[in-house]
Amino acid sequence: MTTAIALQKDGYHVKVLERSTELTVVGAGLGLGANAWKGLARLGITNDLVQNIKKLVGISFPHQFLITWIGIIS
């Protein structure tokens, strides 16, 4: 969808096809990092998104093993 929006803003005629007959909630989520959000803002679509998002305010790792591995990797 983002590519379609960007191409349309550049003057291309875009048609997005969807196989499903209706849009429904499927229980999936999408996490966007700061750079992705900045890209969407440049396309001018974050104002609409803000109305429908649940902002992640923090993250925790309840298992010590995960914290150890993250420390080693980073």
pLDDT digits (tens, 9 = 90+) for 7-60: 999 999 999 998 888 878 777 777 788 898 898 898 888 888 888 787 777 666
Rounded alpha-carbon distances, angstroms, from residue 21 to 3, 17, 35: 22, 11, 33
pLDDT for position 74? 42
Residue 15 falls within a domain, yes or no? yes
State mean pLDDT over 3-8.
91
pTM (2 decimals)? 0.53
Q: How many residues does the chain have?
A: 74
pLDDT for position 62? 67
Q: Which DSSP category does 12 fall into?
A: -
Number of domains in the chain: 1
Residue 26 falls within a domain, yes or no? no
Range of the domain at 12: 2-20+31-73
